[in-house]
Structure formats: structure tokens, C-alpha cells
Amino acid sequence: MAKIGVKIRPNGKRNEVSTLDPLVIRISAPPTEGKANEALIRYLSDILDIPQSAIQIVHGANIKQKILEITGLSLVDISARLKKSMGVLL
């Protein structure tokens, strides 16, 4: 299990990892009624190749700065998969 901090930017043109340090993710969904949080979890599930149930928002559900708990991957694995999603060579 790993915990990561992420800042989301809702209402983006598309879902994408914007920067890694700090981790900023653009989400196309609006920040209302939890839609951006749901989109964030779906997006991370896809790029990390893990089930959505392995990702939990443990802090910051109602703000842009969040702490996520990810089960089944180490911080090294998460970082490598995020970099791969951005097209960064390892």
C-alpha cells in the first residue's frame, strides 16, 4: 500500500498527468457532486492498471489537494506507470 499526494485540476480539456513533482492531474469532469473524484479514480485505475477499488481518497475529498491510498503497488511502481502515461522515458 502506498499513499500519494495529488492536486487535481477539474474542467480540463482531457484527463492527463500534467506534472509529476508535484503530482498534478487534469480531469475533464466538473468539481461538483464528486464527479471529479470519480473521474480521477477511473483515470488512475486505467493508467496504473489496477481496479478502481484499489484507490481510495483518504484526505481532501472536497478540495483540490488530495491524499490517495493505493493498494497493490509500491511508490516506485506508481511513479514508473505515471511516467509511462506521460511518455517519459525510464
Q: Is 89 a domain residue?
A: no
| pLDDT value, residue 71 | 97
Average of per-residue pLDDT values in the chain: 94
**CATH code for the domain in which residue 42 is found:** 3.30.1200.10
Q: Is the pLDDT of residue 85 over 70?
A: yes
Q: Is 88 a domain residue?
A: no
Q: Is 90 a domain residue?
A: no
Taking only the tens place, the pLDDT of each residue in 9-28 is 999 999 999 999 899 999 99
Grid cell 492498471 — which residue? 49
Domain ranges, residue 20? 2-83
Q: Is 43 a domain residue?
A: yes
CA distance 88 to 9: 21
Q: Is the pLDDT of residue 57 over 90?
A: yes
Which of left, alpha, beta for 60 (phi over 0: left; psi -120 to 50: alpha)? Answer: left
Q: Is 6 a domain residue?
A: yes
Residue 70: which pLDDT band, with cuts at 50, 70 and 90?
A: very high
Q: Is 75 a domain residue?
A: yes
Q: Is 31 a domain residue?
A: yes
| pLDDT value, residue 87 | 83
pTM of the model as a whole? 0.93
Tally the residues of the chain. Answer: 90
Domains identified in the chain, total number: 1
